Chains A and B, each alone.
Chain A
């Protein structure tokens, strides 16, 4: 008896089942999710990344940061994401709709970065956020001794000072043992600048209609955890 056709049909329908259920149904049901237009701000959220951050996203992609960092905050009560100050609310599907490639990630060797833009911040008067990132990327041991995040020194150029020192140089931010020879300076490459711009831009602070149900007032412990976070910086 030749049962090959029957077996083949079974094989076909087995996969067709999940292809329909996981891929097709979801593509139809939320594959065309749109931004929410906020009348008060006159802005559609989520906002698109500025151009330089888009470049940085590609650096993030090519260096494989995604293998150690997630970009998804789990709901309160499921893990300690909120308590650790990784976000004010759970991440929702709408947060990602502007991203050409979604970096949810599956590994937390390092902290979640979905809202890292709220933790290290540049203000009009201070570049504290970028400076922290540059020192950290140059060698994580500078800011976070004991970290196993790799150094990204190769995103920086050590070059001879010709004329005036560069305004972008980060030489003054580096500790003693990282100082270049006299007459040299350490300057971020374009890739380093754009990566930092990307990191500064990462934040989901807007509350969508659907996040109102999942958002929970911060528990009292959170302030404590956040305080520790400040110290560890």
Chain B
């Protein structure tokens, strides 16, 4: 490859005074290439595999005899393999790629010694592979969100530590002395995750706490993986790409700071809402409910900030796939969070807890918000590190529409079914088996939605592979945008 920075600079659509700075950015992008491509490639593979697991699990829920004779495909294992494949395989790999790329860009630091970083990412994926195989073969711990058998987790931890250290080193030695709000989120997430993970591993698996203290640790961990890892990474991406693609600064700097700190303070107490009515001290449950409700603050603040940034620019949704996915994700974040707060209220929890409604909620969060934001980010990042266009615009459209319609359909179907299940379950006059039969139709609808989303994932994977394989064409460097925004990372005091 010729010197990528000069190449990029000469191809820049904007022959502007920024040329030098753009060259620097290209150099930074280029330095992230090997690890980012490996991470994104693995994440796409895990997405496909996780989707296959999901479909099998979903079909089994309404047709329990489907593949019923295979022990390794039994519902309890395949459902667990699905969760771990899409969480630790797809979502974490994608988060790593996005976090490292954003960090390098925002800190204006070239990623160094990428060989070691690359090794760490290989180890991470090795750990996930071993973990998933372990689950399917019967070594699952059956601790929600921590199912990987104990022989897989130390590898994951070491790999994580290296990757996190790399991002922080890049931050520390970058040239920028301004810390943009996306970086706050990423730094916090990088620091929080190993803390959560190590405490959970020790107190649940290596030296288990007694009785239901385990359950508290379990949900403290599991909910915080969502709140203190995926949410910050997702929001970091929204805070970066929204203004970037629109070409205007984020609406309010102060709101973004308020949003960050209120999230940091309230979210980490919220996990106990998974244990409402359970055999743990009631005061912790109440604290969890209060914190869950207080989450309305960061969510509304963030929603206002994002919405006010969008106002007047909705036309751009037509032209930028990145923006479409990101805005869909941002709106879903607001909805999922407000729904989550409501589900923590005792009277509503009494109905929704233990039902499929919760499954709908988690897909609204992890899919409609997080996954869609990651899709958007990948549509932006990949062309910049490969210096190529996405090969097929129709495939991008197919990807967007099938996943967007699919996930809405999914969440609506399963939520309606879940509510029905919840209300009926609380009415002891209805025999249990009737409540089960009444959910079947909704579980079938959920499977159809899943098929639709699968189509989108295949379109995405085809486009992705095609992109890697095709040759670079001269003349295009900003394919997913029609307008190039101001470089957030280049403004001395970006607000």
Contact = CB atoms under 8 A, between A and B. Distances in A.
Interface of A: 2-4, 7-8, 10-12, 14-15, 17-19, 21-23, 26-27, 29-33, 60-68, 70, 72, 74-75, 78-80, 83-84, 90-97, 99-111, 139-141, 144, 146-154, 221-222, 225, 228-229, 232
B170 to A, nearest CB: 13
A64 B358 contact: no
B62 A153 contact: no
Most central of A2, A15, A17, A96 by chain B CB within 10 Å: A15
Most central of B79, B212, B427 by chain A CB within 10 Å: B212
A15 B213 contact: no
B331 interface: no
A27 B277 contact: no
By secondary structure, the B interface counts as helix
Nearest to B220: A22
B65 interface: yes
B298 to A, nearest CB: 12
Contact of A150 (B75, B139, B355): B75
A90 B431 CA distance: 21
B475 interface: no
Interface in B249-307: 261, 264-265, 268-269, 271-272, 274-275, 277-281, 284, 287-288
A111 B280 contact: no
Interface in B319-371: 346, 350, 353-356, 358-359
Given A14-B265, A97-B211, A148-B62, A111 B432 contact: yes
B177 interface: yes
A7 B426 contact: no
Given A31-B210, A63-B76, A65-B76, A147 B279 contact: no
B277 A11 contact: no
B165 to A, nearest CB: 15
B428 interface: yes
Interface of B: 60-62, 64-65, 68-71, 74-77, 79-80, 138-144, 177, 179, 184, 187-188, 191-192, 195-196, 199, 203-204, 208-217, 220, 224, 228, 261, 264-265, 268-269, 271-272, 274-275, 277-281, 284, 287-288, 346, 350, 353-356, 358-359, 425-429, 431-433, 436-437, 439-440, 443
A93 B208 CA distance: 15
Nearest to B63: A148
Most central of B79, B220, B271, B432 by chain A CB within 10 Å: B432
B64 A140 contact: yes
A64 B140 contact: yes
A83 B224 CA distance: 34
Given A10-B264, A33-B211, A80-B425, A26 B281 contact: yes
> Which 7 residue pairs across A and B have the least CB separation, nearest first?
A64-B76, A83-B428, A14-B264, A108-B354, A18-B268, A62-B138, A96-B211
Contacts of B77: 62-64
Contacts of A17: 265, 268-269
A106 B144 contact: yes
Contacts of B195: 15, 19
Given A33-B210, A101-B141, A18 B220 contact: yes
B179 A4 contact: yes
A47 to B, nearest CB: 15
Contacts of A60: 142
Contacts of A232: 431-433
B74 A152 contact: yes
Contacts of B211: 30-31, 33, 93-94, 96-97, 99, 102
Contacts of A221: 428
Contact of B208 (A22, A75, A80, A100): A100
Contacts of B214: 101-102
Given A23-B203, A23-B216, A80-B428, A93 B279 contact: yes
Contact of B142 (A21, A30, A66, A228): A66
A17 B278 CA distance: 23
Nearest to B347: A78
B169 to A, nearest CB: 13
A151 B71 CA distance: 10
